[in-house]
Chain A
Amino acid sequence: KQEVTQIPAALSVPEGENLVLNCSFTDSAIYNLQWFRQDPGKGLTSLLLIQSSQREQTSGRLNASLDKSSGRSTLYIAASQPGDSATYLCAVRRGSYIPTFGRGTSLIVHP
């Protein structure tokens, strides 16, 4: 059974820092991996989707990488801003309709 772990569970950084969020998965035979952000009391917003054949995806200040062999993905956020404060979740899909979600990393960026 696929297990997805996100470390750290919580992170607090000053504005302007570059930061890395981690997502680890136990079964490397994945189809794709998706990163989301969730604001308190809201739904999930899709950030990036990486297919299994890709190594990374970029969108603005966000860059997500995928290393299937080591079972890891990282989400890099450049020049963090208070508006980046949210919970970030990764979801891994192995071979069915059902993705497996991590528990998320709660990020606070303080001014």
Chain B
Amino acid sequence: DVKVTQSSRYLVKRTGEKVFLECVQDMDHENMFWYRQDPGLGLRLIYFSYDVKMKEKGDIPEGYSVSREKKERFSLILESASTNQTSMYLCASSSGRGMSYNEQFFGPGTRLTVL
């Protein structure tokens, strides 16, 4: 079975802190994604990566950056956390190159609270 793991289930940080969210997948997938999920707004894509060291902005990249130094690991970075970044963060991965990527598999999520 594909497994996508996220470093924390719950995280509480203070405004202005630098926050790292880690995601690891064990199926050698090329593509990895970071979403946030908020009530009433659904899932929104922050960033995705289709290869090591490659990244593309999603719908809401402002205030975030990402890093993919190894194929299995995709990190989301909040440079200076703000209260409006309190949310559920979901990581996903999928196989496939170019336009033919397949089924997405999600991690368990990280509930981040910024005070």
A103 adjacent to chain B (CB < 8 Å): yes
A60 adjacent to chain B (CB < 8 Å): no
A71 adjacent to chain B (CB < 8 Å): no
Tell whether, in the assembled complex, residue A43 and residue B106 are in contact, meaning their CB atoms are under 8 Å apart.
yes
Kindly specify which of B13-21, B63-71, B78-86, B97-105 makes contact with the partner chain. Answer: B97-105
Complex Cα spacing A92 to B81, Å: 31
Interface residues on A, range: 20 to 34
Among B103, B107, B108, B109, which residue has its beta carbon within 8 angstroms of that of A49?
B103
A11 adjacent to chain B (CB < 8 Å): no
Complex Cα spacing A91 to B90, Å: 15
Tell whether, in the assembled complex, residue B104 and residue A98 are in contact, meaning their CB atoms are under 8 Å apart.
no
Within 8 A of B (CB), among A1-50: 31-32, 34, 36, 41-46, 49
Tell whether, in the assembled complex, residue A97 and residue B103 are in contact, meaning their CB atoms are under 8 Å apart.
no
Interface string of A76-111 (1 = CB under 8 A from B): 000000000000010101011111011110000000
Tell whether, in the assembled complex, residue A42 and residue B109 are in contact, meaning their CB atoms are under 8 Å apart.
yes
B73 adjacent to chain A (CB < 8 Å): no
Tell whether, in the assembled complex, residue A44 and residue B106 are in contact, meaning their CB atoms are under 8 Å apart.
yes
Tell whether, in the assembled complex, residue B43 and residue A101 are in contact, meaning their CB atoms are under 8 Å apart.
yes
A residues in contact with B102, CB < 8 Å = 32, 49
Q: In the assembled complex, how far is the CB of residue B39 from the closest CB belonging to chain A, in whole angstroms?
A: 10
Q: Give residues in B with beta carbon < 8 Å to A.
A: 4, 31, 42-43, 45, 48, 50, 56, 58-59, 88, 90, 92, 99-109, 111
